[in-house]
Chains A and B, each alone.
Chain A
Amino acid sequence: MMTYLSLFLTYLKIGLFGFGGGYAMLSLIQHETVEVVQWGATAPWLTQSEFTDIVAISQMTPGPIGINSATYIGYTVTGSVWGSVVATIAVCLPSFLLVLLVSRFILRNKENPIIKSIFKGLRPVVVGLIASAALLLMNRENFSDNTFSIAIAIVSFILVYFAKLHPIWVIAIAGVAGYIIY
């Protein structure tokens, strides 16, 4: 029961503070599931490599990463479908409440300088959030051997950033490379 409650509260928090899109939300999810030991648990819910694998899986499957991680972690933490249901509802709940309560207010006050200034302050923070997610993932667990791991990371970066290849293909290519190398 404790686990369900902390799943619910954790994903509620992720939904409520998830500004700046999927990648920025990643740093919140990572902090809550890999760094922090939640109530009713003796260790963080995930290891760094499990978290990385979930990111990979959610890039390869349809749907937003917030939903994917909630569904996956909800199941693995409780071993039950209900864990997935609870976490997924929790991450979406703030969207419902905020859209129904404040969307009209925001629409009417789009040009309000105070609201504008708050979002202006958030913009550089979002960049830092994504950077922190990337930094936390650069660890031994994900770079198990120096040469090949770094080579895969560099080639992937070139493919996605400069060649504008879709993430699915980058992951597929890296998977094939892993199969051949290891």
Chain B
Amino acid sequence: MKNIYLQLFTTFMKIGAFTFGGGWAMIPLIEREVVDKHKWISREDFIDELAVAQSLPGILAVNMSVLVGNKLRGLKGSLAAAIGTILPSFVIILLIAIFFVRIYDNPTVASIFKGIRPAVVALIVAPVLSTAKSAKLNRLTFAIPIVVALAIWMCGVSPVWCIIAGGLGGYIHYIVNRYSTMCSKKGGKE
């Protein structure tokens, strides 16, 4: 029988090496390898783990590999899986970082990147619209992303504060809601 740690490592390394775009692009591949091919976990468990990986902060692909590795073999398993996920991009980016600096001032490279930069902006505008759609903003919550974006863009507010405020705001909204329904129930009785 093959070593499970080695299997975890190579499986996640394959996933890390062949998915462009990270995160969501990796999920179907992880599912195929972990559920269908190796049968390490059931599909129901996979969906549960995905929900957890999504709700925790951090890199989705790393969260997912830590969860799967941990489920199979605890901490050692999660290390094997996560290092597998990270290693390909780490090595590739390191090589680029070392060599790219040397060709950065080359006029051909400079003109290529001059063309690429506005495209990168467009690549980030697109998910603004798609996440706005899936967040199901209503008339009240519509203002939140606008305030957040302006606060970070114009006032240099740290995104960390916006995240804390968002979580806190959701909690306060829940408390207020519960309090007001409690009051209206009481009022109804009296």
Contact = CB atoms under 8 A, between A and B. Distances in A.
Nearest to A83: B97
A132 B127 CA distance: 12
Interface string B149-187: 111110010111011011111110110000000000000
Interface in A126-182: 126-138, 141-144, 148-150, 152-154, 156-157, 160-161, 166-168, 170-171, 173-179, 181-182
Interface of A: 13, 15-28, 31, 35-36, 49, 52-53, 55-68, 71-72, 75-76, 81, 84, 88, 91-92, 94-96, 98-100, 102-103, 106-107, 110, 113-115, 117-138, 141-144, 148-150, 152-154, 156-157, 160-161, 166-168, 170-171, 173-179, 181-182
Contacts of B1: none
Summarize A's interface: helix, strand, loop or mixed.
helix
B142 to A, nearest CB: 8
A170 B123 contact: yes
A64 B59 contact: yes
15 contacts: A22-B22, A62-B88, A67-B22, A99-B53, A103-B70, A118-B167, A149-B117, A156-B122, A160-B126, A166-B20, A168-B21, A171-B116, A175-B116, A182-B110, A182-B111
Nearest to A106: B52
Given A22-B23, A71-B93, A179-B108, 17 more contacts: A53-B116, A58-B93, A62-B20, A64-B60, A65-B22, A67-B62, A67-B93, A68-B22, A71-B89, A92-B62, A95-B58, A99-B53, A106-B55, A121-B167, A153-B118, A161-B125, A166-B20
